[in-house]
Amino acid sequence: MNFTAAYDYLLEGQEWRGVVTRDACYARWLDGRVELHDLERDPLQMTNLAGDAAHASEVRDLERRLQQFMRQRGDRLAPCTELANWYDEQRRVVRNGYGPLRHPETAPDWSLLGR
């Protein structure tokens, strides 16, 4: 993910992946930064608990879960500019980790919703 106030969605430096549970929010950035927030006690995520030894096992558990999710999706945390070919000139997503998508202006296949 590259959520930033910058105008350019392919501006490197803010790439991260995360896991949110009922109680915690865990994030790891491409540059190695790690954050853990207690969502019950700190819903605005102002205090990073990742470096607190009392939360080391929670950090390990959430990192393990993050790695599992990334493996399942074939995702790797890489500089966002490596994904430039996922977008067209109008910033529409035209491919994902599984390959090219249908043209963005093609009518949706509503049959996928089932009956």
pTM: 0.72
pLDDT digits (tens, 9 = 90+) for 51-77: 999 999 999 999 999 999 999 888 888
**CATH number of the domain residue 40 falls in:** 3.30.1120
Please tell me what DSSP assigns to residue 87.
Answer: B
- Cα 61 to chain centroid, rounded: 17
Name the amino acid, one letter, at 115: R
Number of domains in the chain: 1
- Confidence band, pLDDT 50/70/90 cuts, at residue 108: confident
Model confidence at 39: pLDDT above 70: yes
User: Residues 15, 79: contact at Cβ < 8 Å?
Assistant: yes
The verdict on residue 8 lying in a domain is: no
The verdict on residue 4 lying in a domain is: no
Order of strands across the sheet that contains 16-20: 16-20, 24-29, 34-38
More confident residue, 29 or 7: 29
User: Over pLDDT 70: what percentage of the chain?
Assistant: 91
Model confidence at 43: pLDDT above 80: yes
Model confidence at 94: pLDDT above 80: yes
The verdict on residue 3 lying in a domain is: no
User: Residues 27, 16: contact at Cβ < 8 Å?
Assistant: yes
The verdict on residue 2 lying in a domain is: no
Q: What is the span of the domain harbouring residue 48? A: 16-113
